[in-house]
Structure 1
């Protein structure tokens, strides 16, 4: 069936666009949602994708042509097969030709990074060449300096060839691998075997791109490594094992009976014998952790950091929580009432009263924000992340608790996205969940302050001339003295203390 491919509907402020680049030519096969042409306006470049699986039949607007909103760009034939291959391709082996004509190859690309992210690193491949995948299966992680992004399988099929190995740096939309749509593991294995030339058979036939790169870095040849993959194919793990065996050989030669721990050390990934034969493990720092370290050091070097402390009696909040926790759960569909929502609400009210604490520094400018976006530090296996609660001035306690729980679950599963962590005018971190009694938090630039919560500890306190045991928590406010004076910082923290010790103030806004 013929389908008209049209230009996007431009907004009222955009009169027309220009056909920038055609990524497909007439007669070329396209997969559903595959990027086929770019339309450039005076504000943005818009992508047009294939409406279904099929073939691009005829291009009506060439590159450089001016097009209006919804104007027809090309004719697309859905469900059609691609035109016959050129004569030189027809001369390829029959098995490869049959496979390639019936199975479509799709490029798996890195995600489109936002402007603030220059590149990413291939963190982990969860599928290997020849391994079958279902649509939306998690196949590779791309780690940026802010978040880990998941790339999934575009359809049912098989990973053909991996072009970017673990540790490689990739740019936005760069091709990571080739994917054979609808193929089985056996069919995927036959394609590289049939297409490999005689000149490359000696090396490429027994070692993939990752293994060849590892061989080159280790200074080994194919003959020195025993392959354990399909058909004796050398894998990256085989190269690593050969390198460890080679480095361990001189150590094992003098002594006939090696210590019991030596074989374990050799078999442990990234483990090596350090001084006096003790085991050491060297692991590369992830981009996320390296970025966290860089930003924290930068904050200490560039900001005039000070910290002021206070303590708050958590008794009133604890009593309120105990009294209404069951009703709260029933009223808000299972959402539990925690302590963090009270701190977020108290901080929001205090930020309204002290705008400098809610501000940020941009070069020589001080930027005052007319809204409260509070970041909540979440500890994950990959490092500390700070997703942001937007417009907390408009959120209720249940909204805050629900959002924080969502952040915690997605952080644990590595599902937090870039949008979750961008922006923020103030941050709260809770070291008390890990038992910290007192600490000095470091601000998250370009913000100018951060509030640190700590463990609730029962302590003897003087109340109306009597010693009373109270559940107390130390609070710490770290701030940038370039933006915030000591008086404002102290008053801000005292405001939070007052609001928490008398929760009715939160409702009355006094």
Structure 2
């Protein structure tokens, strides 16, 4: 039975997507729920899986092609057996371009060849009329024959991507197209700086009380909550939630000439992935326990690394927290995540000499940065909001007592 493989249904905020990677080729046997292709959108990478056991018979949309919601991208034969060789009708070979040495190389294969600095004339092709498929290049690399990258032709040295693993003394450049996700991130960050009256206020917090509380209860916490570890982020999320309730303007957003006040706290937590920065959202943090926050953030991190964060995970959000301290940042100015009006930046915990009751003590200190939109938030509110977070973290019992 022939089945049409379609692109996922995109939400209204996403106009189209791009075919990122075909994981299966025509003629290749596929099991139900096997990953077939990745579709990259402005926000996430969506996975398309096989609807049943069978064979992928035709690829209609190649890597790099733009696809619309529910558009047919391939054809699939359910219950069919794999062909002897995937050379029957690989889209790469069918749409291959002639190279200078006469080999037919598909776009996916060409991308791999350029990335690894290979000589296409040395790669045996199994495709139609000897065309080189992506699988041929992968097998060639695995065989070890590609251990030494081939020199790029002089005429195209400036334009073609080359491998960066080169002998000392050689000057090379690698040109890689920006992904849709990273391009969208860049666009949003520039728009945030251009369209908002962004200002940043700073403070510092003594992390000793939280660190001692965590040290005292972390083993019991992990045992009680089925392996969920007690980190620092949950304390910041709960402190920010309480501060947002006290200062509604920081939890608001701007929509044209309207100021939208939200009666709930949905806090986005920035997660760094290979594909770029993503901000999944914790919903109704006021109703979440520390364990709920830690477990959800851990799940976000894992799914972010695996490329499995969905659009629903990242839509909305009334406030954002970003933690540059995990990478060693001592101080930074976070950029707003529109249409939100504020973002909190955490940083590295570092021992510093502090004056305490007329005495010098070495304390684990962290700089906090709050960037905010001055169109919505006055300086007084921003400073008081940040001081509230500082006070709650330096005396965690206040979060329990709501004081």
Call closer, same or farther: CA 1:114–1:509 in 2, change over 3 Å: same
Rounded to whole Å, the distance in 2 between the matches of 1:236 and 1:365 is 54
Report the alpha carbon displacement of residue 382 of structure 1 after superposing the two structures with TM: 0.6
Change (3 A) 1:394 1:480: same
Provide structure 1 residue ranges, at least 5 long, that are not aligned to the other structure: 1-103, 193-207, 241-259
**CA-atom RMSD in angstroms:** 2.7
Aligned to 1:170: 67
1:134 maps to what in 2?
31
Q: 1:430 aligns with which of 323, 328, 334?
A: 323
Matches within 5 A, 1:147-186: 147-186=44-83
| Distance in 2 (alpha carbons) for counterparts of 1:119 and 1:132 | 29
- How far apart in 2 are the matches of 1:434 and 1:114? 34
SS in 2 for 1:375: strand
Shift of 1:211: 3.5
Q: Tell whether 2:150 aligns with 1:263.
A: yes
The one of 112, 117, 132 equivalent to 1:235 is 132
Contact kept, 8 Å, 2:27 with 2:87, in 1: the verdict is no
Q: Which residue pairs with 2:305 in the alignment?
A: 412
Q: Any idea what SS the aligned residue of 1:158 has? A: strand
Looking at structure 2, the residues matched to 135 and 179 of structure 1 have their Cα atoms a distance apart, in angstroms, of: 11
Query: Structure 1's 188 and 222: CA in aligned 2 closer, same or farther, altered over 3 A?
Result: closer
In the superposition, the TM-score normalised over structure 1's length comes to 0.68
TM-score normalized by the length of structure 2:
0.86
Which residue does the alignment assign to 2:2? 105
Higher-Rg structure is 1
* Cα contact 2:253–2:341 (8 A) shared by 1: yes
Q: Which runs of 5+ in 2 are unaligned?
A: 106-119, 138-146
Q: Contact conserved, 1:214 with 1:239, CA < 8 A, in 2? A: no
CA distance in 1, matches of 2:285, 2:163: 50
Structure 1 residues 396 and 191: CA distance shift in structure 2, 3 A = same
Matched-pair contact (CA < 8 Å) for 2:8–2:69:
yes
Does the 8 Å CA contact 2:127/2:133 hold for their aligned counterparts?
Answer: no
8 Å CA contact 1:431–1:452 kept in 2: the answer is yes
Matched pairs, number:
370
> Of the candidates 322, 340, 350, which is equivalent to residue 457 of structure 1?
350
Q: Which has the higher contact order (CA 8 A, sep 6+)?
A: 2
The answer to whether 1:445 aligns with 2:332 is: no
Give the 3-state SS of the residue equivalent to 1:452 in structure 2. Answer: strand
Query: In structure 1, how many angstroms separate the alpha carbons of the residues matched to 2:367 and 2:67?
Result: 45
Aligned to 1:84: none
Counterparts of 1:309 and 1:369, CA distance in 2: 25
Shift of 1:190: 9.7
Task: Kindly provide the CA deviation profile for residues 13-51 of structure 1, in whole angstroms up to 9, marking residues without a partner as x.
Answer: xxxxxxxxxxxxxxxxxxxxxxxxxxxxxxxxxxxxxxx
Whether 1:312 and 2:205 are equivalent positions in the alignment is yes
Residue 93 of structure 2 is aligned to residue 211 of structure 1: yes
Tell me if structure 2 keeps the 8 A contact 1:120–1:171.
yes
Quick one: distance in 2 between partners of 1:238 and 1:148? 22
Give the structure 2 partner of residue 479 of structure 1: 372
